[in-house]
Amino acid sequence: DAGVTQSPTHLIKTRGQHVTLRCSPISGHKSVSWYQQVLGQGPQFIFQYYEKEERGRGNFPDRFSARQFPNYSSELNVNALLLGDSALYLCASSLLYEQYFGPGTRLTVT
């Protein structure tokens, strides 16, 4: 079975731009979560979606938004990019309590 997939793998953006990151969960998993991992730190929770509804939101500004589609894939959108948004963005899907992570999207903001 295919694992969690994320696209793109790498992305370079300029300050002030907008970015959309995509995630496809493991087949049968209805929950998707997004995490931001800054270099040298543990991942920080951004959002969780279940059955297309937001179930949790971390301490991130409104520039960050997400949605989940009927096929359970998800998008993370970040507006007005700042240098501090440079990080590895991880998507995880889950059936119950174990969360399985994708390879991540490395975003660099210049």
Report the interface residues with another protein, using CB under 8 A. 31, 33, 35, 41-45, 48, 50, 55-56, 58, 88, 90, 92, 94, 97-104, 106
- To the nearest whole angstrom, how small is the minimum distance from the Cβ of residue 110 to another protein? 20
Distance CA 1, CA 35 (A): 23
Q: Between 14 and 39, name the residue whose CB sits nearer to another protein.
A: 39
Q: What angle do CA 51, 53, 59 make, to 5 degrees?
A: 130
Minimum Å gap between C-beta 10 and another protein is 11
Nearer to another protein, 62 or 98 (CB): 98
Residue 53's DSSP bridge partners are 50
Minimum distance, C-beta of residue 69 to another protein, in the bound complex (Å):
19
Nearest to 94 by CA among 23, 30, 5: 30
Are 34 and 89 in contact by the 8 Å Cβ rule? The answer is yes
